[in-house]
Amino acid sequence: MTDRKTQETAEENPGNMIKDPDNWVTGDQPMTGAQRSYLHTLAEEAHVEVDDDLTKAEASKKIDELQEQTGRGVD
């Protein structure tokens, strides 16, 4: 659950809530199951192979890259 102050900050300036994956405290941990699943979905659509041993930060960057390539997640 998000506290009210965090929510208000996010609504006022959503750019403040986005951190560079290189600066994540847990960025060097293995990617999450959700990241793995979405990454494989994107990779299949983009017709590319992805490594299953990515960290959270590496997976996030790869997801961003593949979203651009496939047009997913683009506003």
Is the pTM higher than 0.75? The answer reads: no
In a domain, 11, yes or no: no
The range of the structural domain enclosing residue 49 comes to 21-75
> Is the residue at 2 inside a domain?
no
Higher pLDDT, 33 or 12: 33
Higher pLDDT, residue 16 or 71? 71
- The answer as to whether 13 is a domain residue is no
State what percent of residues in the chain have pLDDT above 90: 57
1 within a domain of the structure (yes/no)? no
Does residue 14 lie within any of the structural domains?
no
32 belongs to a structural domain: yes
pLDDT digits (tens, 9 = 90+) for 21-52: 888 888 889 999 999 999 999 999 999 999 99
Q: How many domains does the chain have?
A: 1
Assign 54 a pLDDT band (cuts: 50, 70, 90). very high
- Residue 51 lies inside a defined structural domain of this protein: yes
Q: Is residue 12 part of a domain?
A: no
Torsion angle (degrees, nearest 10) of CA 38, 55, 60, 37? 0
Greatest CA span in the chain, whole angstroms? 42
